[in-house]
């Protein structure tokens, strides 16, 4: 297994909301994409771990993933322990992604920012030759942070206008979470409200680069530009 892009998230359906369109666009361009969910969302009000994993596999097919997995770490109790980091690092060595997408490092849900922390440290550990004698060292070349729900200025925005409707289809594959249900009815918006909310957010970011729909990302390092004449997005 060798992936071009691997997105790591705390729960099934996190990726579909934050960077699913980008994964689809990369798949459309011929890249091998995958998703690793750290938990099965077993503390969620709706559904069950078994149902949510099955739904995640259906969503993965819509997104064109070549691989999706789940580490079944405890939901709502993610801890950045050495054993968790080692498990994640070995999985990264196995999948050999060139690019890793992580949750932004600040979030309302502790699992989300902890997943970003664990993912970064595991990416570093995966490159240590002596970490594990049974697997080959591998360190991703680039780490991106999906910042759609963070109130920060993006480093860049990906045009997902051609993928947005499929991204919604992937998200709505989680019928246990987004279908009509009396369970947790006061906590969960209906399907039309979900479409309106996510559409508005994607339109907001798309407008910043002059397209219909966009997904924002942050990187911690400077980005090299070799041709300033052909740089995209108008200044005025």
Domain residue ranges in the chain: 5-218
What is the model's pLDDT at position 181? 65
What local confidence, expressed as pLDDT, does residue 62 receive?
98
> Residue 156: beta bridge partners?
217
Residue 6 phi, psi dihedral angles, 5° rounding: -125, 125
CA atoms 55, 33, 112, 195: torsion sign: negative
* pLDDT for residue 73: 97
User: With pLDDT > 90 as the criterion, what percentage of the chain qualifies?
Assistant: 89
pLDDT at 153: 97
Does 5-218 carry CATH code 3.40.50.10320?
yes
Q: How many residues does the chain have?
A: 236
In the predicted model, what is the mean pLDDT of residues 34-58? Answer: 94
Report the C-alpha gap between 173 and 175 in whole angstroms. Answer: 6
Main-chain phi, psi angles of 74, to 5 degrees: -70, 125
- Among positive and negative, which fits the CA dihedral 165, 166, 167, 171? positive
73-91 exposure pattern, b = at least 16 Cβ within 10 A, e = fewer? bebeebeeeeebbebbbbb
* Residues 141-173: b if buried by 16+ CB within 10 A, e if exposed: eebbbbbbbbeeebbebbbbeebbebbbebbbb
| Burial class, 61, CB count within 10 angstroms (exposed 0-12 / middle 13-18 / buried 19+) | exposed
pLDDT the model gives residue 22: 98
Q: Give me the pLDDT at residue 182, please.
A: 59
pLDDT in tens, 200-217: 999 999 999 999 999 999
Per-residue pLDDT tens over the stretch 91-146 = 999 999 999 999 999 999 999 999 999 999 999 999 999 999 999 999 999 999 99
Segment 155-193, tens digit of pLDDT = 999 999 999 999 999 999 999 988 776 565 566 688 899
The pLDDT, as a whole number, for residue 98 is 98
Give pLDDT, residue 187: 66
pLDDT of 13-43, one tens digit each?
999 999 999 999 999 999 999 999 999 999 8
């Amino acid at each position: 297994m060798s992936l071009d892009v691997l997105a790591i998230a705390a729960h099934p359906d996190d990726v579909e909301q934050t960077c699913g369109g980008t994964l689809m666009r990369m798949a459309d361009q011929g890249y091998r994409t995958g998703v690793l969910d750290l938990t099965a969302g077993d503390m969620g009000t709706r559904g069950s771990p078994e149902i949510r994993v099955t739904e995640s596999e259906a969503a993965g097919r819509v997104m064109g993933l070549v691989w999706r997995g789940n580490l079944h770490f405890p939901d709502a109790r993610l801890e950045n322990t050495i054993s968790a980091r080692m498990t994640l690092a070995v999985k990264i060595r196995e999948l050999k992604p060139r690019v890793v997408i992580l949750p932004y490092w600040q979030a309302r849900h502790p699992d989300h920012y902890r997943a970003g922390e664990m993912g970064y440290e595991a990416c570093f550990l995966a490159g240590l030759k002596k970490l594990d004698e049974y697997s080959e060292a591998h360190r991703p070349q680039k780490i991106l942070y999906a910042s759609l729900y963070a109130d920060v200025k993006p480093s860049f925005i990906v045009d997902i206008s051609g993928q947005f409707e499929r991204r919604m289809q992937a998200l709505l594959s989680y019928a246990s979470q987004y279908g009509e249900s009396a369970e947790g009815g006061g906590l969960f918006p209906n399907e039309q409200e979900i479409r309106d909310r996510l559409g508005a957010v994607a339109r907001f970011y798309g407008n910043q680069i002059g397209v219909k729909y966009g997904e924002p990302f942050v990187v911690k390092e400077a980005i090299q530009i070799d041709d300033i004449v052909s740089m995209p997005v108008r200044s005025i």
